[in-house]
Structure 1
Amino acid sequence: MNRSATVLLTALAPVSWGTTYAVTTEFLPPGRPLFTGLMRALPAGLLLLALTRVLPRGIWWGRAAVLGALNIGAFFPLLFLSAYRLPGGTAAVVTSVGPLCVVGLSAVLLGQRPTARSVLTGIVAAFGVSLVVLRAAGALDVLGVTAALAATVSMSAGTVLTQRWGRPDGVGPLALAGWQLTAGGLLVAPLALGVEGAPPALNGPAVGGYVYLALANTAVAYWLWFRGIGRLTATQVTFLGPLSPLTAATVGWAALGQALTPVQAAGMAVAFGATVAGQLHRTGTAERPSDRPGRGGRPGPVTATAGTPRQTSGG
């Protein structure tokens, strides 16, 4: 499959995540963010495990637990905590700095030299998102901002480590997604029960909402996300992240009757332009799957010599 098709398929993940807010507010019980995170992760992970029938081996038990904690187990609770404590779309603005986090972590863990263009593109993407989702100023909650930043760093680290470690021989992205979702869901479960208590009573719309979140929004979306991380650079994958708040704004306008101002429309254009630019820039390294084995038993990234242009080919 060519690179453009891979980018488009990977982009479906953040587009799907952009529908989470509408589904949660319209169909799910209020005030149960941890239970919602649990229902997103654990059923999806167990389903993928049942479909693939592949379990981690050796060092991958530990790696699956680490990736599951970063991408799911820590990310979900921190993200929900920030969303509940920060006004308007402030949480989305804070988390939109994810591309900048991945650029920095990729330099440390993958040896990908950050470029002025990638840093500028990340700043422009965050600015565009802020125009779309940021509302009237209010007192910012320190815990909420800290949780949003921690969620961003957690997902960014998970994205970079997923690319660094690759996958074991014979293991596809579907199984890798199942490992992480199951591990993350098992981490969220005791937290949800301890903080929120017993599961709430569910009506028909709530059941449908949870089924959608577990299947399309999580099982399929994370499979596409981890598949993309294996074929693109971590920086390219994370530059698709702004599509999530852009989708949320579009769904709010089209389906929920929320107004879309000219400033918001301009912000969408800016953020989308930065997302496209993030797929075009060159970095200090590129992943070439056919070159040599990586640490996870699969091909890994190849480091360029100084002055050699690289083609960029993850959360």
Structure 2
Amino acid sequence: MRPCGPLFTPSGECRHHSDHYPAGVKVIRYGREAGASDAREAAVTISIAQKDAAAPAGQTAAILTTAIAPAIWGTTYYVTTEFLPQGYPLTVAMLRALPAGLLLLAFVRALPTGIWWGRAFILGALNFSIFWALLFVSAYRLPGGVAATLGAVQPLIVIALARLVLGRPVRPLAVLAGIGGMAGIALVVLRPEAALDPVGIAAGLAGIVSLACGTVLSRHWQPPVSSLTFAAWQLTAGGLLLLPAALLLEPALPVPTATNLIGFAWISVIGAAVTYIFWFRGLARIEPSAIASLGLLSPLVATTVGWLLLNQSLTPLQFGGFFLAIISLWLSQRAAMTR
């Protein structure tokens, strides 16, 4: 008997009309070969051109999962001010990176080999040690709005570095999105009375350059290991580099309270160990300029958390900044997917 299914009519006749197949499906048909038995019918092979059709969907999924990381990082300001002891920036940064790195390292049970020892420490320094140390310096010397606006410059720096290091083309839409994102964040968080401390501004910009270099090099130096292992290496290296600085430059941390422990658990386990798995996984799949623009979510989430939990008010101008930042974020992702 002839098979009867989606490709055949109930009477056993093959369906040969292209409108029976969805868009993007290529149908290859083979007729009866001369001298073949009547019991043998033509084989109908369907090949689906999935590569081009699935690429946008896969890219969107990668963007959404990577965006989890900066969204969670947006809660760091609230957790730091409400749950953690004040005045220990290097110690807090070390306790955020090192326990998370060691936890992941114990899980993956894989150490770097050869050249990856040096690269792990370079990336750990750029993405964590230098960036977090300078971030806290700028946070202490600048109003939060100024520091966040400086952070919004990162996508533009990454675009330039990606051109120099990776040979990526500079897309005008990505540059426009970067400028728009910076303007949107400035409208959301910047205040007219904000004081501009030169040391704080220099530290903030240097920290952003450090993170931008780490972002581009993390894409350039893709190791033959999973994103989980890659995150473990960098977090551990960054935490180890912060350890002597915290011990030498800051007083001993007081005995933590239950509230402190909750805060440390959040910024280390959730805010570092979990989020950086998503982040480094995204770095391997998304254009550097696009992933850098996802950082705009952090100040937006931080402002939203302050509005919801700290009873902070938002003006119509800030809502306009929110809209501009979101549009710029969307444009940045569109630019990255344009070939």
TM-score (norm 2): 0.82
Counterpart check, 1:143 vs 2:196: no
1:209 aligns with 2:275: no
Match status 1:116 vs 2:172: yes
Structure 2 residue 92 is the aligned partner of structure 1 residue 22: no
3-state SS of 2:208 partner: helix
- What's the offset of the Cα at 1:136? 3.0
Amino acid at match of 1:187: L
Over aligned residue pairs, what C-alpha RMSD do you find? 1.2
Letter in 2 for 1:183: A
Query: Which residue number corresponds to residue 34 of structure 1?
Result: 90
2:63 matched to 1:11? no
For the residues of structure 1 that align with 2:91 and 2:315, how far apart are their CA atoms?
A: 34
Question: Does the 8 A contact of 2:185 with 2:299 survive in 1?
Answer: yes
Residue 268 of structure 1 deviates from its aligned partner by 0.8
* Aligned partners of 1:88 and 1:135 also within 8 Å: no
- Number of the residue aligned with 1:104: 160
CA distance in 2 between partners of 1:108 and 1:75 (Å): 21
Residue 282 of structure 1: CA displacement?
4.2
Letter in 1 for 2:131: F
- For residues 336 and 265 of structure 2, the distance between their equivalents in structure 1, rounded to whole angstroms, comes to 39
User: 1:281 is matched by which residue type in structure 2?
Assistant: A
Letter in structure 1 aligned against 2:274: V
Higher Rg of the two aligned structures = 2
Contact 2:289 2:336 in 1 (8 A): no
The separation in 1 between residues aligned to 2:63 and 2:307, in whole angstroms, is: 26
1:59 aligns with 2:115: yes
User: Separation in 2 of the partners of 1:260 and 1:126?
Assistant: 18
| 1:90 corresponding residue in structure 2 | 146
Structure 2, gaps ≥5 residues long: 1-56
Letter in 1 for 2:150: V
TM-score (norm 1): 0.88
Q: What amino acid sits opposite 1:167 in the alignment?
A: P
Residue 126 of structure 1 is matched in structure 2 by 182
Task: Return the alpha-carbon distance in structure 1 between the equivalents of residues 107 and 266 of structure 2.
Answer: 18
Q: Aligned to 1:199, which of 253, 269, 276?
A: 253
* 1:231 CA drift (Å): 0.8
Q: Which residue of 1 aligns with 2:236?
A: 182
Specify the code of the residue in structure 1 equivalent to 2:135: L
Q: Answer yes or no: is the 8 Å Cα contact 1:173–1:226 preserved in 2.
A: yes
Counterpart code for 2:301? T
**1:270 maps onto 2:270 in alignment:** no
Stretches of structure 1 lacking an aligned partner (at least 5 in a row)? 284-308, 311-315
**2:275 matched to 1:221?**
yes
> One-letter code of the match for 1:154?
S
1:185 and 1:105 mapped to 2: Cα distance? Answer: 25
How far 1:200 moved relative to its partner? 2.0
Quick one: which amino acid aligns to residue 265 of structure 1?
F
How many residues end up aligned between the 2 structures? 283
Question: 1:273 aligns to what SS in structure 2?
Answer: helix
SS of residue matched to 1:242: helix
- 1:4 aligned counterpart, secondary structure: helix
C-alpha deviations, 1:87-134, integer Å up to 9, x for none? 231001011100000000000000011122111110000000001111
Distance 1:142 1:24 in 2: 24
**CA offsets 1:218-241 (integer angstroms, 9 cap, x no match):** 111111110000011111110101
Identity %: 50
Counterpart among 247, 254, 257 of residue 308 in structure 2: 254
CA contact (8 A) 1:125 1:242 kept: yes
Query: How far does residue 139 in structure 1 lie from its aligned partner after superposition?
Result: 3.4
